[in-house]
Homo-oligomer: A and B are copies of this chain.
Amino acid sequence: MNVAQRPTLYLAGPEVFLVNAAEIGRRKQRLCLAHGFEGLFPLDNDIIGLPTGTRIDQAIYKANLAMMERADAVIVNLTPFRGPGADVGSVFELGYMAGRGKPVFGYTNVAADLAARVARFDHVTFDEQSGYLRDSTGLMVEDFGNADNLMIDACLALQNHPLVVVDAPQDQLYEDLTGFEQCLRMAAAVLQAS
């Protein structure tokens, strides 16, 4: 397979916010190559040479969108970020690619399910009247055994490559690539068939 024929993967995840984001991007791209893919790593705050007056955030958005349009599929890091849920920027990209009809793959480096994740931040109780779990403000907590909101887990499951769940060490939360590699193997089965 020559370079031009490699399927491309958009690599979404909150690791763009790490101090060593560029290094992790390179590690992910090397793993992509090893599995027969070209990896497209999103930029964040890293756009240069813009005309005066250009909004950097909107330029990054447009650059990320262009990468997603070019990509054949996406692998999203859905590890919890500043709370029990995934990074909303990454989830936007998951939804966008699903809306574009492209294969989506995802992993999380926290093994706890949503109810247990919420319970790390808030008091979760069983509401007998409704039969639902609720947080301390009365908001219902989904209890399907999913890692996150059902729109995320079901989207992946219904494409027949469910969320990959890894129990990564706390100090490797955004750097452990075990789940990412498992997504690469699933993506290879889908995109490199025949």
Contacts and interface: CB of A to CB of B under 8 A. Distances in A.
A64 B95 CA distance: 13
Contacts of A91: 88, 91-92, 95
A154 B65 CA distance: 11
B100 A140 contact: no
Contacts of A98: 92, 95-96, 99
A39 interface: no
Contact of A151 (B83, B89, B154): B89
Given A88-B148, A92-B91, A92-B94, A19 B138 contact: yes
A130 interface: yes
12 contacts: A16-B140, A45-B140, A57-B154, A61-B150, A83-B121, A88-B88, A88-B149, A88-B152, A89-B149, A91-B92, A92-B92, A99-B100
Counted per complex, copies of this chain come to 2
Interface of A: 14, 16-19, 44-45, 55-58, 60-62, 64, 81-89, 91-100, 118, 121-122, 130, 132, 134-135, 138-142, 144, 146, 148-155, 157-158, 174
Contacts of A146: 57
A96 to B, nearest CB: 4
A98 B57 CA distance: 17
A103 B150 CA distance: 24
A94 B93 CA distance: 10
Which of A18, A62, A85, A99 has the most CB atoms of chain B within a 10 A radius of its CB? A99
